[in-house]
Amino acid sequence: MNPLILPTVPMAFAFLLPLLSQMIKSRRFVNAYAIVVTGLTLLPASKLLLEAYSSDLPLVYAFGGWSAPVGIVYEVDRFGALMTFVTAFLMFLIAIYSIKYLEHDEGVEWFYTLYLGLEAGLLGLFMTGDAFNLFVMLEVTAIASYGLVMFYTEEGYPAYSGVRYAIISSIGTTMYFLALGVLYYGIGTLNFADLAAKLRGIPFPVSSPLGDPVTTMAVVLALATWAFTIKAAIVPNHFWLPGAHSSAPSPVSAVLSGLVVNAGIYGFMRFFMVTGGVSALAKLNGVVSLILIILGAVSALLASTAMLVQEDVKRIVAYSTILNMGYIAMAVGVGTADGTRAAIFHMLNHALAKALLFLAVGVFIHSAGTRKVSELAGLGKKMPLTTVSLAIATVSLVGLPPTNVFFSKLLLYEAYLNVSPLLVVILVLTSLFALASYMRMLYWLWVMKPAKELSVKESPLMVAVLLSLAAICLVSGVLSPVIIEKCIEPAVGQIGNVEGYIKAVMLYVGK
């Protein structure tokens, strides 16, 4: 199978699941189905990663044989391949975890239908080379997310949070769709390679002459920036996230906070790739970069402060997501190779550590039936392996050695220092606030005595997933210098090679 058609795998199986579940009325079948499909998706994602790193140019595939700029084209560089692999890997592990977490819930066939649809949307988003198809995949991802947030339909708050999430997210996708209309009217293309070629005066097949792009791109970037700040939960468009991510089932929270929020950052980086280095757009890019730095800094400060006063353990973790999205937005706003390197590495490390943190918290919630920190008192001693996993996740997210996030925060430190020492102060200060929040959570879990005795025990299946992710956070931390050299640096080099991105599509068109 061509790995470039990867998103069709979970999507096709998602459509089949409701029908098959009516024919085979077995929870074991549904659980096995989800594991097999996410595993089958992980295999070509691994192959795609290997092929992307063995190729000097991005990999290209045209659906239906319609080449760019006419048809929908997937173009996967090393950055996209990294995001695709990490997404498929985490979706596989979280599907395994979900078997135990949802053991008492009804309607798991619908849960996994939406889950596989969400995976298809995320994979397509990271692989597409077309701005309109990016919109389509954002919608696929969003619609699946709405349903998953509202999975607990018997409870009022998840429904309220899901509807609010749907309304705010729909505003974002609408604004992005308007940006696409302006882009196509002003420049005549929605293909990223064609757009990059036109902005640089490079001839492209089936391409009309380009006039002054500054006004068009100013409107496009204004609308897209607003849309992507909603998707990435950047201040002032962050307010939907704590409710949505905290009220969803814990496996969904892990996906939303670890993977889905990356969509907005990824969108920013793709548009900066297209417009970067174009002299006519230098001032415009500078303005957008400054906005990202300011909004990212405010996001980090507000979120880290909010973490200190939360009583809901999942809201603490949810605000941590806003905090880290702020860090990444600031790195993208720096607009240098150092900033790009830090943004990519922190996106990957945050995805792993945040998934671990939400899943660990989910074990406690699943056992105690509550999300309040005070009502989880003393539970940590009865569930030591889960507590160790939670501690590793918090230490990682704070950025202490030898965990993976320590090294991505070092890259953030270097990138920020080149812009302003104030950004470094924000990084250190907000990390200390986050540390205080996590220590309070661990204090209640391990030191405080429980208000009532609970008969709980750790699930071997859940613990296996937690320990696997915890080991990855530690091992990838130790191996970070190698990972940066062998994985991150090549990805940064390829995303900065816009001429190579254009050339890959033109060579494919010329076949």
Ramachandran angles phi, psi of 306, nearest 5°: -65, -30
Query: What one-letter code names the amino acid at 381?
Result: K
Q: 156 pLDDT exceeds 70? A: no
Q: 510 pLDDT exceeds 80? A: no
- pLDDT top residue among 12 and 370: 12
- State what percent of residues in the chain have pLDDT above 70: 96
User: Where are the domains positioned within the chain?
Assistant: 3-509
What pLDDT digit, counting tens, does each position of 185-218 carry? 888 889 999 999 999 888 877 766 566 788 899 9
Count other C-beta atoms under 10 Å from residue 236's C-beta. Answer: 12
Task: State the pLDDT at residue 85.
Answer: 97
Give the largest CA-CA distance in the chain: 74
Task: State the pLDDT at residue 164.
Answer: 86
Cross-strand bridge partners of residue 61: 74
CB-count exposure of residue 279 (10 Å: 0-12, 13-18, 19+): exposed
Q: Is 73 helix (H, G, I), strand (E, B) or coil?
A: strand
Q: 436 pLDDT exceeds 80? A: yes
Q: 452 pLDDT exceeds 90? A: no
CA distance 288 to 218: 9
What pLDDT digit, counting tens, does each position of 116-142 carry? 999 999 999 999 999 999 999 999 999
Label residues 16-48 b or e (16+ Cβ within 10 Å = b). Answer: ebeeebeeeeeeeebbebbbebbebbbebbbbb
Retrieve residue 425's tokens.
């102060």
Cross-strand bridge partners of residue 60: 75
Task: State the pLDDT at residue 426.
Answer: 96
Q: 290 pLDDT exceeds 70? A: yes
Average pLDDT over residues 393-405: 94
What pLDDT digit, counting tens, does each position of 260-279 carry? 999 999 999 999 999 888 88
Ramachandran angles phi, psi of 351, nearest 5°: -60, -45
| Cβ pair 358, 254 in contact under 8 A | yes
Average pLDDT over residues 82-106: 94
Q: 155 pLDDT exceeds 70? A: no
What pLDDT digit, counting tens, does each position of 484-508 carry? 999 999 999 999 899 999 999 888 8
CA distance 421 to 416: 7
| Cβ pair 241, 318 in contact under 8 A | yes
- pLDDT mean across residues, the chain: 91
Q: What is the pTM of this model?
A: 0.95
Task: State the pLDDT at residue 69.
Answer: 77
Q: Could you tell me the CA-to-CA distances from 196 to 34, 160, 436, 493 in Å, in that order?
A: 39, 41, 45, 17
Q: 158 pLDDT exceeds 70? A: no
Q: 65 pLDDT exceeds 80? A: no
CB proximity list for 322: less than 8 A, separation 6 or greater: 233, 234, 235, 238, 241, 242, 299, 302, 303
CA distance 342 to 412: 5
